Amino acid sequence: MSTHVAHTGMNGLIEKAEFNRFGIICVVLTIVGCLGGIAVGLGAIEHYLTLTLVVVPTMATLSLLIAVAPMRLILFAGAISLIVDVLMILYFTLS
């Protein structure tokens, strides 16, 4: 007889992410890569500061994916990259 313990909160999310690692990697790779390219294409390439703000988190996320880092780090870096990319896309679209 076995018992099933329902994990809730952040630990449960991380355990599910570890189980679904390859699917999440595909999604993160596509979203982060495309949004980073769009942000650079819209105007981040014109200034060193904005280019650095987009490239550093994007490349950090992609490097963590290639290094098969723990999913906790990949999800955190992906979230930071997503936020920065969306802010830069909004900035360059509205200016």
CA distance 58 to 74: 11
pTM of the model: 0.81
Question: Is residue 82 situated within a structural domain?
Answer: yes
Give pLDDT, residue 1. Answer: 55
Give pLDDT tens digits for 31-80. 999 999 999 999 888 889 999 999 999 999 999 999 989 989 999 999 99
Q: State in Å, rounded, how far the first CA of the chain is from the last one.
A: 63
Q: Above 60 in pLDDT, residue 3? A: no
Give pLDDT, residue 11. Answer: 72
Question: Is residue 9 situated within a structural domain?
Answer: no
- The domain tally of the chain equals 1
Q: Does the CA dihedral 53-91-41-74 come out positive or negative? A: positive
Q: Which residue has the tokens 């955190």?
A: 76
Structural domain including 33 reads 15-94
- Tokens representing 10 are 């952040």
